Chain A
Amino acid sequence: MNNSKRILSMIAIGLFSLGVVSVAFSDDDNDDDGRSRNHKNSGWVESRADIAPVTNATYGKECGSCHMAYQPGLLPATAWTQVMTPAALANHYGDDASLSDTIRNEINGYLSANAADHAAQTRAQAFAVAAAPNAQNQGNALPRITKTRYFMRKHDEIPARLVTGNPEVGSFSQCNQCHRGAADGVYNEHQVSIPGHGRWAD
């Protein structure tokens, strides 16, 4: 009686610790941004912004007219400043994106003040930590969000055929093609849906 009780409690403890271990090791997005309370609407997991959404109208209009206006929290301030020089804008990843000095300065100020290294969200901070050494390793090339260590680690298991080989996506730069909440700063895996493939969970 006493013995079987002891065995039962040992099994119970064993199962419990297994559970704890698997929670601790899970790569799920549910609990990795506990500090952030940027909830939108009622959904907790579905709609919290893990990267602060764009709030500057000039940035949204000027940069968003050609591509998704990437949230400032996706690169550190030094990287944004590199992207926003007149010379860099004249050859902006193959496009001419020149701006007047007034607009350029406003946008650079906004991006730098809200950059990854100044962000409150843990996910945004990860882009700052990872990007610094990487940005230096890119020589004269402009920094890229897709070349930050954090970005690459989060996307390394996704086969190229689903992104670069997928005509509906085309490139890893098209966040919003798969991250359906990207425009609102929601990047958790629950809102990922790859065109022609569907949900992705790692």
Chain B
Amino acid sequence: MRQHLVITAITAALTFSAASFAADPAAGKAAWNAEHAQTDGSPARSCATCHGQDLTQAGRHAKTGKVIEPMAPSVNLQRLTDPEKIEKWLARNCKWTFERECSTNEKADFISYIKTQ
């Protein structure tokens, strides 16, 4: 039963169909801009390193320079519409930025922040 609830919560977080969990856009915003020192000596990173601080603007991949379309659903209707894509990129980008995977709460905060943009 408990496991079932957790799975439901995760699914809700990833598809943001429910507002019943404590996702905090302000916490998401703070985490978005927080710089993280890298153990391999690379310059510190945050989500904004590639996506920028203004989510309505396009970003740029720090290494390849490839343009990243805006994250804000208000200007990019494709954002937050594909749960698999969201999961894939949260997994990759948390590892790249924080050198670890993000918790369910952290992911929910990011998504709730992006949603308000």
Contact = CB atoms under 8 A, between A and B. Distances in A.
Interface of A: 65-68, 90, 93-98, 100, 170, 173-174
Contacts of B96: 95-96
Interface in B1-16: none
Nearest to A97: B92
Interface of B: 42, 61, 63-66, 88, 91-93, 95-96
B61 A67 contact: yes
A interface: dominant SS: loop
A96 B64 contact: no
Contacts of A100: 88
B91 A66 contact: no
Contacts of B93: 96
Contacts of B65: 170, 174
A67 B95 contact: no
A94 B91 contact: no
Contacts of B95: 90, 96
Contact of B64 (A67, A90, A98): A67
Contacts of A95: 63, 92, 96
A66 B65 CA distance: 8
A98 B91 contact: yes
Contacts of A67: 61, 64, 66
A59 B107 CA distance: 27
A30 B96 CA distance: 44
22 contacts: A66-B66, A67-B61, A67-B64, A67-B66, A68-B66, A90-B95, A93-B63, A94-B42, A94-B63, A95-B63, A95-B92, A95-B96, A96-B92, A96-B93, A96-B95, A96-B96, A97-B92, A98-B88, A98-B92, A100-B88, A170-B65, A174-B64
